[in-house]
Chains A and B, each alone.
Chain A
């Protein structure tokens, strides 16, 4: 992002999170899309930021439950051992 030709780069950065989350208004989206069509560095930053967020979400899956032995110890610590029935899932 060299200073002379990329005065829009910094303002793009401020809207980046909202843009990749799909929370940015249509007009600002168009501005960003116009800018990244001309600015390869910003295009890469947008693409790889979106990919980063996608990877975080993808690596969240599957949502594992609590390991049985952790649940056992938790219930005992809380004096709830009487309620240690199997989880109904």
Chain B
């Protein structure tokens, strides 16, 4: 489903003038996608709720910095991504999201798994266990790939908006998206490869 939140008519002027009813409308319009982003990034409800609250607190404080050049949602996502990074990095060395290193090449992610699981029945692929395998694979993605993947494939932002949100170039977004997808594919191939072998043993 596309995250279109049918562009609610939020008045920037009213927000900047301190109109609290308008801010409440902003919160109700955008809190669900921000919460889901936090859930996907951090994997637990408490951290997602912290990110949600801090995102809107920060948005409220920095309303004057929002120039309206990007969409409100992109602006809020950018804040939420930064808030999520802060949670993820608690006690960890800092990693910059805009790190561009020589490993930003898709070739490093050449497939090694060739299990033909694509034709498995949908009820297996979309079972509770199947979804858990997918969630684990997403959580295993390195941070800089996960951000891009979540914004593009989960929140369904365009390549352009994903790039804008993360301060990356569009080509960098594309490379990271490909690497993320290939990594997920590898992980799912291992998982379903084991399932297929298990079924053969049981037969």
Contacts and interface: CB of A to CB of B under 8 A. Distances in A.
Interface residues of A, number: 43
Interface in A23-52: 40-41, 44-45, 47-52
A79 B27 CA distance: 12
B178 A16 contact: yes
A78 B60 contact: yes
A10 B107 contact: yes
Contacts of B28: 71, 87
Interface of chain B, main secondary structure: helix
Nearest to B5: A63
B188 A52 contact: yes
B52 A48 contact: no
A55 B3 contact: no
Nearest to A82: B20
Contact of B174 (A17, A55, A57, A58): A17
B181 to A, nearest CB: 6
B178 A75 contact: no
6 contacts: A45-B114, A61-B1, A74-B31, A74-B49, A80-B20, A80-B27
Interface of A: 1, 10, 13-14, 16-18, 20, 40-41, 44-45, 47-53, 55-66, 70-71, 73-75, 77-80, 82-83, 87
Given A16-B182, A63-B3, A66-B32, 12 more contacts: A13-B178, A16-B181, A17-B177, A47-B119, A48-B118, A50-B118, A58-B126, A62-B1, A63-B36, A70-B52, A71-B28, A77-B57
